[in-house]
Structure 1
Amino acid sequence: MLETLQTLHWGAVFQIILIDVLLGGDNAVVIALACRGLEHSKRMQGILWGTAGAIILRVLLIAFALTLLAIPFLKIVGGALLLWIGIKLLVPQEDEHGNIKGGTTVWAAIKTIIIADFIMSLDNVVAIAGAAQSTQLDHQMYYVIFGLIVSVPIIVWGSTLVLRLIDRFPLVVTFGAGLLGWIAGGMLVSDIFIIQQFGEITVPALYAAHVVGAVLVIAIGKWVGLRKAPTKENANGSV
């Protein structure tokens, strides 16, 4: 055991953990938003299972990172899905016959976490894979997995913290949805197909895409939420 620790490339381990922690902020927000509709007794269950699924998926993504990012239209599809997830998070969920529906079941929360993490990880995994390049070829995946495992408690803790903030400040949900829109906007304009057609995107254009994505998600999400609110009130009044 001691010999294994001595032969570890600690520089690579540190880089991978640092990347996971820095990028884990997005994950913590997504996990918290996905679990916010759960009963308090089930929130940790959703966080743990969702995080586990996201980590496993990320390990698989890292193995195929460069190949995935080279597929045209993949980031466009991913960006569109992120926009949809962000909008959906702003739309109030409905309960029927006392059963928890939509995003308020543990399984629904887990699915949202894994789908969002898959989309958001397309760029992130490249950074992790790059950090692992400095290690021996046959040990690279071990370093990646080790770094991810170490970063899990940080992501879980961050998720619980964001959930507490959501309970106290509902505006955090709007911020989180806007964050997904921000990421989606950047993904849409950085797809390999877009770059091939129009060339490398400029920094101002990239920031503009980020802003448009965030505004679009918040605007549509709020609009749909307002349209659903009267319908829900009418349904309650007719009971």
Structure 2
Amino acid sequence: MDLTSGALWGAFGAIVVANILLSGDNAVVIAMAARSLPRKQQWKAIFWGSAAAIVMRIVLTIAAVTLLQLPYLKIIGGALLLWIGVQLLLDSDEGGEVKQHGTMFAAVRTILVADLVMSIDNVIAVAAYRVPLLIIGLALSIPLIIAGSTVLMKIMDRFPIIITLGAALLGFLAGEMFVTDPFSAEWFKANMPEADYIFGGACAVLVVVVGTWLQRRGRAQSSPT
């Protein structure tokens, strides 16, 4: 590995940028998942969720070339992301109060599933580079994810609307995945060039509407008659 090579540093820069961009999405999911835990467990969930997600992303990147050729993979991933967005929205009521009935295992599981789904689109960009560069780039993103999710969690406590925006973001990402799956990508590219924005926006609205409706129905059922 020639440390003076421009191509080497260019590849490393691409990996770091890709992981910084993905870290923003991860920080939203981690913050939303950790909010449902008692305060003493929140930092542990953030740390272990971030670390496990990074390890999983390394494995996924190594297998990316094969995985991304499979039809329906992104469609299934998009459906999972819709479900995660709704579930994370349900963890708070209208006033932003947290339902602290979750477990750290459940929070970490949610973080891992969401990271797995969101990584599908990103890993192909770095899959061709050498594994040592990949590992270094991913390791650098760990403090970004931890710091970002910690700050976001505090902001969510103060401004509950951020929770709704985070759920909408997951819906938007899910919509983009539906139209970029190998099964449907060519058709959408030829017949509906703006499909990623259309489906992304529609799925963002869907997550918020369904999540809000389920919130209200749950409160109506639990309120005394």
Q: What is the TM-score with the length of structure 2 in the denominator?
A: 0.90
Alignment of structure 1 residues 1-239 onto 2, 5 Å: 9-92=8-91, 101=101, 104-130=102-128, 132=129, 140-195=130-185, 198=187, 200=189, 202-234=192-224
Q: CA deviation at 1:41?
A: 1.5
Q: CA deviation at 1:7?
A: 7.6
Distance verdict in 2 for CA 1:230–1:125, change over 3 Å = same
Q: Distance in 1 between matches of 2:134 and 2:109?
A: 23
Q: Distance in 1 between matches of 2:3 and 2:44?
A: 32
Q: Distance in 1 between matches of 2:165 and 2:188?
A: 31
Partner amino acid, structure 2, of 1:166: M
Q: CA deviation at 1:228?
A: 0.2
Q: Specify which structure has the higher proportion of helix.
A: 1
In structure 2, the partner of 1:97 is none
Q: CA deviation at 1:17?
A: 1.2
Contact kept, 8 Å, 2:82 with 2:207, in 1: the verdict is yes
Q: CA deviation at 1:66?
A: 1.8
Q: CA deviation at 1:205?
A: 1.9
Give deviations 1:80-122, integer Å, cap 9, x for gaps: 010011111111479xxxxx64xx2110000000000000100
Partner amino acid, structure 1, of 2:125: A
Q: Distance in 2 between matches of 1:34 and 1:92?
A: 8
Q: Distance in 2 between matches of 1:16 and 1:191?
A: 23
Q: CA deviation at 1:42?
A: 1.1
Residue 37 of structure 1: SS of its match in structure 2?
coil
In the alignment of these two chains, the number of paired residues is 218
Give deviations 1:194-229, integer Å, cap 9, x for gaps: 135x25264422210110010000000000110001
What value does the CA root-mean-square deviation take over the aligned residues?
Answer: 2.2
Distance verdict in 2 for CA 1:199–1:6, change over 3 Å = closer
Structure 1, unaligned runs of 5 or more:
95-99, 133-139
Partner amino acid, structure 2, of 1:62: T
Contact kept, 8 Å, 2:31 with 2:46, in 1: the verdict is yes
Structure 2, unaligned runs of 5 or more:
94-99
Pair member with larger Rg? 1
Q: What is the TM-score with the length of structure 1 in the denominator?
A: 0.85
